[in-house]
Structure 1
Amino acid sequence: MGEEVKVIVFALGKEEYGVEVEKVRTIERMQPITRVPKTLPFIKGVINLRGIVIPIIDLRERFGMQGKEYTENTRIIIVAANELEVGLIVDSANDVIDVDSDTINDPPEIVGGIRAKYLRGVARVTEERLLVLLNLGEVLSKSEIIQLENIEE
C-alpha cells in the first residue's frame, strides 16, 4: 500500500475531481466578484477575502465546459498554485477523503474533454467511483499567472 494522499473532492457537472488538501487554503461560499477588464473569459474577477485580493477562475469555463448558474452549492476553493492564491469556482465541494497513492493512475489523454496536462492522475476510490486529480500548476499557464498577478496591483 502506498502513502495516503488527503484530497478535497469537488464536482463539476457529473464528474468528481480532487485537489490535495495541502494546496487548499479555504473553501468559501459564492460571493460577489469584482470584474476585471481585459482578462481571459474564464477569469471572473477578484474577491477581497479577509484583506487579500484573490483572482477567481470559473473551472468549468477553464476546462471548456458549458457554464452553469451558480447555486447554493457553488463553492470557491481557494488554492495556492505557483506561489499565487487563486479561487476556483466549482459546482460543489463535497468531501475530504484519503486516496492511496497506489490507486492513482496516469490520466488518459482526454478525460471528459479535459486535456491530460491539467490532470495529475485518476484515482480509483471504489469499484464505481473514480476521482480525477487536478494538476494545479498546469490549470494556469505562465501567461495567465502573469495576468492574474497584474490584477492584484
Structure 2
Amino acid sequence: MANTIDVVEFQLGAEHYALDIQIAREIVEMMPITPLPRAPHYLAGIINLRGEITNIINLKNLLGLADSRIAENQKIVVLIPEATGGANVGIIVDDVHSVIQIQDKDVEKMSDGISSNIGSFVKGIIKSGGDDAEKGRSLVIWVDILKVISSVDGHQDT
C-alpha cells in the first residue's frame, strides 16, 4: 500500500501550497502584529499569543513572491517549537483550505534542471484532484518549511 501523508493546504496569492501537518501546532485568525525596528523584510513582527511572544514571518516575502494585496482571509499558521529550534514562530498565509491526504504517487519531485535553489525548498508538486481532468484543480506546491526556516537562521546577523 502506498504511503499517505497529511498536509495543510494553504494559499499565497493565487497559488496553492502545502506544508506537513505534523509541524503545524495551530492555525489562528489574523491579529494585530507589532512590527520590530530594523527587522529583516520577511519578519512581519511579533504577537502575544496566549501569553507567548511569537515571531511572525511573512511567507510571501520570505519566498520572494509578490505581496500585491492583503488577503481578506489571512491566517497565521503557528509552527511547533521543535521545528523552529525552540522559537515560537508563525507564518502568514492568505488562506487555509484544508488538510489533505496525499499518496507518494500523487507527488512529482522537482528536477534540479531549472533551479537548484528552488528545489531545495520544495518537497514536490502535489497533483491533487486525482485523474479526473474535469475538476480543474491546480497543482499544489509542497513547501519544506523546515528548510525555509533554517535558511532564515543562516542569514541573520546576531
State TM-score, norm by structure 2.
Answer: 0.80
Q: Which residue of 2 aligns with 1:116?
A: 119
For residues 63 and 145 of structure 1, the distance between their equivalents in structure 2, rounded to whole angstroms, comes to 15
Structure with more of its chain in strand, by fraction: 1
The structure number with the bigger radius of gyration is 2
Which residue is equivalent to 2:134?
none
Query: Are 1:90 and 2:99 counterparts?
Result: no
Q: Distance in 2 between matches of 1:52 and 1:88?
A: 15
Equivalenced residue count is 147
Could you tell me which residue of structure 2 aligns to residue 100 of structure 1? 103
Residue 62 of structure 2 corresponds to 62
Alignment of 1:1-153 (within 5 A): 1-80=1-80, 81-83=83-85, 84-109=87-112, 115-126=118-129, 127=131, 128-141=137-150, 144=153
How far apart are residue 32 of structure 1 and its match?
0.6
Letter in 2 for 1:28: V
- Deviation string 1:48-88 (CA, Å, 9 cap, x unpaired) is 11111111111111111111333331111112333333111
Query: What is the distance in 1 between the residues matched to 2:111 and 2:88?
Result: 28
TM-score, normalising length from structure 1? 0.83
Identity %: 28
Q: CA RMSD in A?
A: 2.5
Gaps of 5+ in 2: 132-136
Residue type of the alignment partner of 2:94: D
Change (3 A) 1:26 1:15: same
Cα separation, 1, equivalents of 2:151 and 2:102: 29
**Cα offset, 1:102, TM superposition:** 2.9
Structure 1 residues 70 and 29, CA gap change in structure 2 (3 angstroms)? farther
